[in-house]
């Protein structure tokens, strides 16, 4: 059976969404994605590069590098909470709703990394 593109429920082969609500939410997701995609990519690139540089600098200047790493982790976490943009592969496998949930959980992972770096700054 074919699955609803938004929620992942089984539907007939002639439909794309299981309800009007799913269609409305999927259209909202695609509108938001097309509107904020460049912003998402630019902030995520800055965050990942800053995280890498911060973790590298942490071996030389503990507080400066750690502060940069924590700030970039929090930037990425906020970005994933506000704009969860999963890949098309995730959407095809799980549906938009579950893929956005997984993206938000990755944001929690970045908060955990920020707490780990803060703990390392204090402990070392």
Measured from the Cβ of residue 110, the count of other Cβ atoms closer than 10 Å reads 21
13-17, 49-53, 99-103, range with the lowest pLDDT: 13-17
pLDDT at 102 over 80: yes
> What are the tokens at 22?
């799913």
pTM recorded for the entire structure:
0.87
- Displacement of CA 68 from its chain's centroid (Å): 20
pLDDT at position 21 = 96
Collapsed DSSP state (helix, strand, coil) of residue 25: helix
Closest by CA position to 106, among listed 72, 124, 79: 79
pLDDT at 42 over 90: yes
> What are the tokens at 15?
């439909």
pLDDT-derived band of residue 62, with 50, 70 and 90 as boundaries? confident
pLDDT in tens, 64-92: 999 999 999 999 999 999 999 999 999 98
> Tokens 């893929």 correspond to what residue?
99
| In contact, 22 and 7? CB cutoff 8 Å | yes
- Please say whether the dihedral angle defined by the alpha carbons of residues 72, 110, 34 and 20, taken in this order, is positive or negative: negative
pLDDT at 32 over 80: yes
> Tokens 């940069």 correspond to what residue?
68
pLDDT at position 124 = 76
């Amino acid at each position: 059976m074919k699955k609803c593109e938004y929620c992942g429920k089984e539907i007939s082969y002639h439909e794309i969404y299981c309800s009007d609500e799913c269609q409305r939410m999927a259209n909202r997701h695609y509108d938001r994605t097309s509107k904020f995609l460049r912003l998402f990519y630019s902030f995520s690139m800055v965050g990942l590069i800053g995280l890498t540089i911060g973790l590298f600098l942490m071996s030389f200047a503990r507080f400066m590098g750690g502060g940069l790493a924590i700030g970039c982790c929090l930037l990425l976490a906020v970005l994933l909470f506000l704009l969860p943009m999963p890949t098309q592969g995730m959407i095809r496998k799980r549906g938009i709703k579950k893929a956005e949930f997984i993206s938000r959980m990755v944001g929690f992972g970045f908060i955990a990394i920020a707490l780990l770096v803060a703990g390392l700054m204090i402990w070392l």
